[in-house]
Structure 1
């Protein structure tokens, strides 16, 4: 049985969100909340104080990089960003904002689950 980490999944695509949650739950992770934009990520992080926030970068209302900056100002929650964009400047910007890890979509289970485990272990 896995340690009961609190995980939040944020992605504006409901299918992607469902796939991520399913992958995590299949191996015993506990998802405490999910959302569809950076504004919800900020609010849910303040409510749940998760161990890990898994979040898309490009979303409506508030993007993941902006949300990361806000969350970092008041929380040490580990943040794993997911994006379809692999431009070097976005990676640099994400790391400068304090993300714990960064994965390029489409995310495959073989890379996703080890990245989650590594981020949680290194918290």
Structure 2
């Protein structure tokens, strides 16, 4: 049995969200909440105090980078960003906000699960 980690998935695309949740739950992760924008990510993080938020960058209301800045300044929750962009400037901005990593969409299970494992394993150090 996997150690119990609370994970929140945030993406404005419901199909992407559903796929991510399914991949995580199939291997035993506890996805405690889902949301569709950065504002919801901030609120859900305050409510659930997850170990990890997996979040899209480009979303309505509040983007993932702005939400990451708030989450990282108010909690020790790790953030793994999902993006359709792999430009160096976006990566630099994401690092400055305190993200633990990022994955380029579309995200496949063989990329997602190792990335999640790395982030959560770093919490044990």
Per the normalisation by structure 1, the TM-score is 0.99
The corresponding residue for 2:65 is 65
Give, in angstroms, the shift of residue 73 of structure 1: 1.2
**RMSD, matched Cα:** 0.5
State the 4+ residue runs in structure 1 displaced beyond 4 angstroms.
none
The corresponding residue for 1:82 is 82
SS in 1 for 2:50: coil
Q: Which residues of 2 match residues 40-119 of structure 1 at below 5 A? A: 40-119=40-119
Alpha-carbon displacement from aligned partner over 1:58-114 (angstroms, at most 9, x marks no partner): 000000000001111111101000000111100010011100111110111111100
Long gaps (5+) in structure 1: none
Long gaps (5+) in structure 2: none
SS in 2 for 1:73: helix
Per the normalisation by structure 2, the TM-score is 0.97
